[in-house]
């Protein structure tokens, strides 16, 4: 960053050292404001475009829960909004703001890492995008595989996908758009693919994964991707995938009465949520000691059912409830989708915010916005920048 600041003889701001301007002012701007400040002058543009600055800026961003919302005309879905849920800003403004709008129906975010989002269409066709830099590319069509997550691989600097094929789908195939046409070799289990490298899929040899059923939630923590799994009637297991060694081990989770619903990061530790059948009581567990796998019950959140049903006018059908426990900006809370409302409930079971939005859905994913460019994008099929399917707003 200091080298970028010395590109011009004129200081960035008169009366302030360049290091203060960069490290204490510019780095604190949100991505949209940072892009706008590049129009001030060539020096500002050079400084805020340098990769080391962008990495520093990304590190200062807050990880926010991802919502996605469908924009409809009548009963037809016309576009999809990607919405980082900043609970402080949303509560103050009483509205939700999208970071990107996609001109395509029924996109759904299914994985995230370092500002990158993997989007699925009908859980079969996959794309990747950075909603801030508005880069977009196609990955391919997946049949018979589960996407477990996307992760950075530190030794190579690559971003990689972790997939799983089950025994019932081992004869199916995956068409990947970077000239890889791969067919399953009758091996159930996990596979890794490096984005944009053109390398063939690599099988991760682990007998532990052969008979597992994976949920749609995973968390990158302590250099490992943690995936919630089921093995027969036992739902209290976590697969731990070491993203450096790319090896697998299994971890036991607490015995929940209703089974574990989701995993999430909580103050640098692995958090777990479970709920009763009616989804009215949420238990929050924390992996207190990682090595010993010691979990403690942190709290129990009782949802304000009567108040919620009165607001949503939903007195009979509890199946309309979509309940997600999230941790963001040092705060634990619950997001509830009920009919045409998105509700926020705090740890004490108090309804603190309501948003009237018919098509919005909460997810367990987090988005840490990033302006850092990624070298793999141009090598992928259908790569565009600031073009379709992004909608200009």
Radius of gyration for the chain, computed over Cα atoms and rounded to the nearest angstrom:
22
How many percent of the chain have pLDDT more than 90?
Answer: 33
pLDDT range class, residue 113, cuts 50, 70, 90:
very high
What's the angle, vertex CA 283, arms to CA 280 and CA 284, rounded to 5? 135
Whole-number pLDDT of residue 243: 94
Task: Single out the residue of 164, 242, 158, 226 nearest to residue 364, CA to CA.
Answer: 226
Neighbour count for residue 307 (Cβ, 10 Å): 15
Task: Single out the residue of 267, 309, 301, 269 nearest to residue 284, CA to CA.
Answer: 301
Mean pLDDT (whole number) for 243-261: 78
Q: Can you tell me the distance from the alpha carbon of 36 to that of 111, in angstroms, rounded to the nearest whole number?
A: 29
Residue 106 neighbours by CB under 8 Å, 6+ apart = 70, 77, 80, 121, 122
How many percent of the chain have pLDDT more than 70?
Answer: 80
Q: Can you tell me the distance from the alpha carbon of 273 to that of 277, in angstroms, rounded to the nearest whole number?
A: 13
User: What digits encode the pLDDT tens for the residues 66-87?
Assistant: 999 888 777 777 889 999 998 8
pLDDT for 367 beyond 90: yes
Task: Single out the residue of 173, 246, 255, 162 nearest to residue 212, CA to CA.
Answer: 162
Q: Can you tell me the distance from the alpha carbon of 359 to that of 121, in angstroms, rounded to the nearest whole number?
A: 16
Mean pLDDT (whole number) for 107-122: 91
User: What digits encode the pLDDT tens for the residues 195-248?
Assistant: 877 665 788 876 566 566 666 678 999 899 998 886 655 556 888 999 999 999
Residue 20: C-alpha distances to residues 26, 34, 47 (Å): 9, 16, 13
Residue 240 neighbours by CB under 8 Å, 6+ apart = 224, 225, 226, 248, 249, 250, 251
pLDDT for 382 beyond 80: yes
Neighbour count for residue 315 (Cβ, 10 Å): 9
Q: How is the beta sheet containing 260-266 ordered, strand by strand? A: 260-266, 269-275, 281-289, 294-302
pLDDT for 252 beyond 60: yes
Residue 93 neighbours by CB under 8 Å, 6+ apart = none
Whole-number pLDDT of residue 172: 45
Query: Of all helices (H) and strands (E), which one includes residue 113?
Result: strand 107-113
Mean pLDDT (whole number) for 138-163: 87
The more confidently predicted of residues 85 and 251 is 85
312 near 321, Cβ under 8 Å?
Answer: no
Task: Single out the residue of 282, 333, 343, 349 nearest to residue 312, CA to CA.
Answer: 343
**What pairing do the DSSP bridges indicate for beta strands 341-346 and 331-338?**
antiparallel
| 3-class state of residue 169 by DSSP | helix
Mean pLDDT of all residues belonging to the chain: 82
The model carries a pTM of 0.86
Dig out the tokens for 162 from the structure.
């972790």
Q: Exposure string (b/e) for 357-389, b if CB count within 10 Å is 16 or more?
A: beebbbbbbbbbbbbbebebbeebeebeeeeeb
Mean pLDDT (whole number) for 53-63: 92
Whole-number pLDDT of residue 250: 86
Q: Can you tell me the distance from the alpha carbon of 351 to that of 300, in angstroms, rounded to the nearest whole number?
A: 15
Query: Could you say which DSSP state residue 313 is in?
Result: T
Whole-number pLDDT of residue 10: 64
pLDDT for 180 beyond 90: no
Q: Can you tell me the distance from the alpha carbon of 277 to that of 383, in angstroms, rounded to the nearest whole number?
A: 44
Dig out the tokens for 271 from the structure.
């958090």
Q: In this structure, is the dihedral angle defined by the CA atoms of residues 98, 100, 104 and 110, taken in order, positive or negative? A: negative
Residue 345: C-alpha distances to residues 97, 262, 302, 348, 353 (Å): 20, 17, 9, 8, 7
Residue 310 neighbours by CB under 8 Å, 6+ apart = none
Top-ranked range on mean pLDDT: pick from 57-61, 143-147, 198-202, 307-311:
57-61
The domain spans of the chain are 2-58, 61-385
Residue ranges of the alpha helices (H) in the chain? 2-5, 18-20, 31-37, 42-49, 51-60, 87-93, 305-312
User: What digits encode the pLDDT tens for the residues 276-310?
Assistant: 877 889 999 998 887 777 888 899 999 998 898 88
CATH architecture of residue range(s) 61-385: 6 Propeller (2.120)
């Amino acid at each position: 960053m200091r080298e970028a600041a010395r590109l011009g003889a004129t200081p960035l701001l008169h009366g302030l050292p360049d290091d203060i301007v960069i490290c204490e002012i510019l780095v604190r701007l949100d991505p949209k404001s940072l892009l706008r400040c590049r129009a001030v002058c060539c020096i500002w543009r050079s400084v805020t475009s340098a990769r080391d600055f962008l990495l520093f800026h990304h590190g200062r961003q807050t990880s926010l829960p991802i919502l996605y919302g469908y924009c409809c005309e009548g009963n037809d879905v016309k576009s999809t909004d990607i919405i980082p849920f900043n609970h402080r800003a949303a509560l103050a403004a009483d509205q939700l703001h999208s970071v990107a709008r996609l001109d395509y129906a029924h996109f759904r975010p299914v994985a995230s890492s370092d500002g990158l989002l993997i989007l699925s269409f009908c859980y079969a066709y996959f794309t990747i995008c950075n909603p801030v830099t508005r880069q977009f590319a196609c990955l391919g069509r997946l049949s018979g595989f589960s996407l477990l997550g996307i992760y950075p691989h530190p030794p190579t600097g690559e971003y990689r996908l972790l997939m799983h094929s089950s025994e019932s789908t081992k004869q199916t195939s995956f068409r990947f758009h970077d000239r890889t046409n791969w067919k399953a070799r009758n091996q159930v289990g996990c596979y890794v693919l490096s984005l944009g490298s053109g390398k063939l899929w690599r099988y991760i040899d682990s007998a532990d994964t052969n008979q597992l059923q994976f949920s749609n939630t995973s968390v990158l923590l302590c250099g490992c991707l943690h995936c919630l799994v089921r093995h027969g009637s036992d739902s209290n297991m976590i697969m731990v995938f070491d993203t450096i060694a790319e090896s697998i081990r299994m971890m036991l989770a607490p015995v929940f009465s209703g089974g574990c619903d989701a995993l999430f990061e909580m103050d640098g530790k692995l958090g777990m949520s479970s709920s009763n059948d009616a989804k009215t009581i949420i238990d929050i567990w924390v992996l207190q000691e990682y090595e010993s796998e010691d979990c403690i019950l942190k709290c129990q959140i009782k949802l304000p059912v009567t108040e919620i049903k009165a607001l949503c006018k939903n007195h009979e059908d509890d199946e309309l409830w979509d309940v997600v426990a999230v941790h963001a900006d040092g705060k634990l809370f619950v997001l509830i989708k009920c009919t045409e409302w998105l509700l926020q409930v705090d740890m004490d079971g108090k309804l603190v915010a309501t948003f009237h939005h018919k098509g919005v859905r909460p997810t367990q994913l987090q988005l840490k916005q990033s302006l850092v460019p990624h070298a793999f994008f141009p090598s992928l099929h259908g790569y565009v920048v600031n073009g379709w399917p992004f909608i200009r707003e």
